[in-house]
C-alpha cells in the first residue's frame, strides 16, 4: 500500500524550528515548572510498549533533549492512534502520534506539527501459507492490529474496500511485538502491521519468526476504492 500522507501547510521547517513551534504552542504542560530554571514536560501519546510509535516517541524525546527546545517530552504507552485522538479530544494529552488516515478524518480536527515519517500498511503471512491475498482470509485467524490502534482502523478500511466481511474469518488481535511469534505458533495465519521501512520488529533475521520465513501480501487491489472514498491520504 502507498504510504499514508498527512497534508500540512507547505512551509519549510527544520527540526529546531519545529521543536520551537511545539514549545510555543498553547498547550498545558503536565508538570508546571516549579522554578524558572525547570522546563515544562509535555506528555506524548505513542502506542504499545516497544512498538514502532513507542520507539519513535523516544527518538523524538531524545532529539528534544539534545536541542535547546524550551520543553521536554514524556512518552506514554497507549493503544495507538484511535485512543490517542480520543485522548486529544478529551484533553488528557497535549501531543500525540497518529496515522494520517485516521488523523485527517478526526471530527474535531487536528493541528499537524509535522509529518514525521512515511508509514506503510502491510500484511504478513508464513512463507508456506496457502493465503495468497486478503481475499483468502475467510476461514482463517487474522490479526487486524491491536484494538484502538491506527493499524486496526486502516485494516478495516482495506477489508471494506475489498468487500471482505470481518465475520468471514476469526479475529485474533495481537500486538505488533508479538506478530512473528504468533505466526510461528499458529495463533494467527495473517496479520496487519504498520510502520516505517525497515521495521525491525517484524524482521525475521537471526531466526526470528516462522522457520520457513514470511511473505508480505499485496494490498494494491482495494487501493483505487480507498482513494475514491478517502482521497489522496492513501
pLDDT digits over 59-69, tens only? 999 999 999 89
Question: Does pLDDT of 35 surpass 60?
Answer: no
Give the Cα separation of 214 and 203 in Å (integer). Answer: 9
Q: Among candidates 182, 113, 175, which has minimal Cα distance to 149? A: 175
Give the Cα separation of 202 and 49 in Å (integer). Answer: 15
Mean pLDDT score across all residues of the chain: 85
Q: Is 15-103's fold the same as 120-230's?
A: yes
DSSP letter for each residue of 43-78 = EEE--STTSHHHHHHHHHHHHHHHTT-SSEEEEE--
Q: Which class does domain 120-230 fall in?
A: alpha beta
Question: Does pLDDT of 91 surpass 90?
Answer: yes
| One CATH from 3.40.190.10, 3.40.50.11540, 2.60.40.1890, 3.90.1640.10 for 15-103 | 3.40.190.10
Domain residue ranges in the chain: 15-103, 120-230
Q: Read off the pLDDT of each residue in 113-127 and give the average, rounded to a whole number.
A: 91
Do you find a cis peptide bond into 19, omega within 30 degrees of 0?
no
Q: What angle do CA 26, 11, 199 make, to 5 degrees?
A: 85
pLDDT tens-place string over residues 161-203? 999 999 999 999 998 989 999 999 999 999 999 988 888 889 9
Question: Does pLDDT of 6 surpass 60?
Answer: no
User: Which range among 4-13, 14-23, 95-104, 113-122 shows the weakest confidence by mean pLDDT?
Assistant: 4-13
The pLDDT score that the predictor gives to residue 200 is: 86
Answer for the pair 41, 71: CB distance below 8 angstroms, yes or no: yes
Answer for the pair 131, 140: CB distance below 8 angstroms, yes or no: yes
% of the chain with per-residue pLDDT over 70: 84
Q: Among candidates 189, 198, 178, 190, which has minimal Cα distance to 219? A: 190
Going by pLDDT thresholds of 50, 70 and 90, the confidence category of residue 37 is low
Give the Cα separation of 104 and 181 in Å (integer). Answer: 33
Amino acid at each position: 500500500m502507498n504510504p499514508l500522507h498527512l497534508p500540512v501547510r507547505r512551509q519549510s521547517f527544520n527540526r529546531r524550528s519545529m521543536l520551537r513551534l511545539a514549545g510555543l504552542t498553547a498547550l498545558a504542560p503536565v508538570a508546571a515548572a516549579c522554578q524558572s530554571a525547570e522546563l515544562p514536560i509535555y506528555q506524548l501519546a505513542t502506542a504499545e510498549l516497544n512498538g514502532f510509535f513507542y520507539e519513535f516517541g523516544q527518538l523524538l524525546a531524545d532529539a528534544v533533549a539534545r536541542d535547546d527546545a524550551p520543553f521536554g517530552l514524556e512518552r506514554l504507552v497507549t493503544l495507538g492512534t484511535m485512543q490517542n485522538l480520543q485522548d486529544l479530544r478529551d484533553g488528557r494529552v497535549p501531543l500525540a502520534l497518529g496515522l494520517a488516515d485516521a488523523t485527517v478524518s478526526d471530527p474535531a480536527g487536528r493541528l499537524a506539527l509535522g509529518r514525521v515519517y512515511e508509514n506503510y500498511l502491510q500484511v504478513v503471512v508464513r512463507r508456506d501459507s496457502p493465503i495468497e491475498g486478503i481475499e483468502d482470509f475467510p476461514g482463517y485467524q487474522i490479526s487486524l492490529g491491536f484494538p484502538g490502534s491506527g493499524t486496526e482502523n486502516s485494516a478495516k478500511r482495506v477489508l471494506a474496500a475489498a468487500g471482505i466481511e470481518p465475520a468471514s474469518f476469526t479475529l485474533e488481535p495481537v500486538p505488533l511485538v508479538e506478530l512473528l511469534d504468533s505466526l510461528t505458533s499458529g495463533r494467527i495465519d495473517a496479520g496487519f502491521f504498520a510502520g516505517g521501512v525497515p521495521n525491525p520488529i517484524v524482521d525475521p533475521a537471526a531466526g526470528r519468526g516462522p522457520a520457513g520465513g514470511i511473505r508480505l501480501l499485496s494490498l494494491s487491489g482495494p487501493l483505487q476504492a480507498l482513494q475514491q472514498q478517502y482521497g489522496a491520504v492513501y
